Structures are given as structure tokens and as C-alpha cells.
Chain A
């Protein structure tokens, strides 16, 4: 993935290989009657690609520049932290999280930081997402989550398995020294109790 250069005019993560991999996985997996939520939509490129392919598409981002950019693409947007201000239910939840391991001294305090900084492990935001996503997905809902080999995919799988989800690999692509993966996550209805 590319690391955009922050500037006052460039406060939204520009679509890159990770965006396109998630978009293509979403296009392959979306059903016409799906109510879709994209968490952390950035530019809105993934959600915009699904317009007309699903019953509804709603996108969130904490970044005011991102929700405005996505709205200009025709996407219904909500400014909120992950999915704090939505209740669903949603049949398909998409998330390309900030997944780069980032030490405190590496942090840059601007809006792009939210798109990139996954905390020291790279998994901080994914852990917050995993803990709350069960509140908004329908019983047979699916999640498509983009992660990188830099994020520790096995650790991500353990996070979701521990919460009663089944994790499958939906797509994989080698990009400049890292593997990008799309994980397809759904409730394990045999043991799910939450």
C-alpha cells in the first residue's frame, strides 16, 4: 500500500491496492438484498462501487473530510467513531482498518493518522471493531475485513475466533513486501452465544 504524504489539502486516504482488493471482494460477495455498512470509508471508493448492487449502502468515518468526500460520490455517510452511532442490522459489513503497527513516537497528529495508525501491534482498531460489530450485524451477516501480513493475520483470526466468529480467507494479494488479505468473518452459529 502507498503511504500518502500528509498536507492540508490531502486529509483523506487515497484509494490504493488495499482499497481495490476490498472493493473487488465486496463486489464478488454482495447480494442484491444486502444492507451494507462500510466502516471507516475514507474516500468512499468501496461504498460507491456497491451503489445499485445492494439494497442500501451506508458508510461511516471519523474524519470530516472523508465523509464529505464519500457523500460527493453519492454515498450516504455518517460521521462517527467506527460504528458507534449506527445500530443496523446490516448483512454485509466492510472495513479497511488502520492496520500499520505504529509506535507512539511515529505518530503524526492529523486526520490521515486515523486511516493508518493501528497502534503498536497494528491491531488496536481491529480489536475495538471486533468487540462491537456483533451489535450491528444480522444473525447471518458477513464481515469483509482487510488486513496485512504486517498486522499479524493469525492474531486477528484469534481475536474473532475468541468472540465466536468463523474466519475464512476471501482474497489475497502480494504488494511490495507485504501480503494484503481480505478475511470473511461470520458468526459461528453453532456456538455463538452473544
Chain B
């Protein structure tokens, strides 16, 4: 995902802001990392460039 995407994302549960943590970046594409919701205390993973904003209690 591009950094600019962060502005239009929110926590799927509380709709609050997310903080971006980057583990791997290629150009302007964040490939691995996470999106942290401080209010919920939950990290949503970014894998292969795709943020996973499913409630993290739903494991598949």
C-alpha cells in the first residue's frame, strides 16, 4: 500500500485513526508492516502490500 492510503483508512471496529509501522518498503509501496489502533490496542497486519482490516478476533 502507498503511504497516502493511510489517510482514508480507519480502525474497522472503533473507526479511529491508525498509526503506520513499516517493516519493509519498496519505493513508495509498503510491503510489510502494520496499522496500529491505539484506542483498541490492536495491530492490523500489512502483508504483500495489502492491509488486513478485518477485526483481529476473526481468524480464518
A residues near B (Cβ < 8 Å) are 35, 56, 58, 62, 64, 67-68, 71, 76-81, 84-88, 90, 135
Contact A67 B50 (CB under 8 A): yes
Complex: A35 Cα to B7 Cα, angstroms: 12
Partner of A58, one of B5, B48, B54: B5
Q: Pick 19 A–B contacts, CB within 8 A, sort by A.
A: A58-B5, A64-B60, A67-B50, A71-B49, A77-B50, A78-B53, A79-B51, A79-B52, A80-B12, A80-B52, A80-B53, A80-B54, A84-B53, A85-B10, A85-B11, A85-B44, A86-B10, A87-B15, A90-B8
**Interface secondary structure of A, over-half rule:** mixed
Size of chain B's interface in residues, with CB distance under 8 A?
Answer: 19
Q: Which residue of A lies closest to B48 (CB)?
A: A68
* Cβ-based interface call for B21 (8 A): no
> Contacts A85-B9, A87-B8 given: A79-B50 contact, CB under 8 Å?
yes
CB distance from A182 to the nearest CB of B (A): 24
Complex: A84 Cα to B58 Cα, angstroms: 14
Q: Which residue of A lies closest to B35 (CB)?
A: A85
Complex: A62 Cα to B48 Cα, angstroms: 16
